[in-house]
Amino acid sequence: MEREPFPRYMVWSTQDIDLSDEWQRRWYIRQVLMYGRAEDVARLDWDEIERLLPELDLPETLHRLWESYFHARKAARVPRLP
């Protein structure tokens, strides 16, 4: 079980979170995206964020920001013709 304490500026309602629990992990990712600092967001698994984005119930502007980012990231990966 992966339990650890987290900074109070992101997680103020509990002492620890079980990141092996899918619901708690989604909740934690949402908290980080909404309240975390750049270094907190950088530690997340970006592929996991992309996969979970539709389920995270983020504010619309934040959701659109991440959608735009992932769209641009995918576009950048497409090989260009010579």
- Domain range annotation of the chain: 3-77
Residues 59-76, mean pLDDT to the nearest whole number: 92
Q: What is the pLDDT of residues 33-43, one digit of tens each?
A: 998 889 888 98
Write the CA distances from 59 to 66, 71, 81, integer angstroms: 11, 18, 38
Nearest to 31 by CA among 20, 49, 67: 49
Residue 46 has pLDDT above 80, yes or no: yes
Predicted confidence at residue 1, as pLDDT, reads 40
Predicted confidence at residue 13, as pLDDT, reads 66
Q: Pseudo-torsion of CA 48, 39, 59, 6, nearest 10°?
A: 80
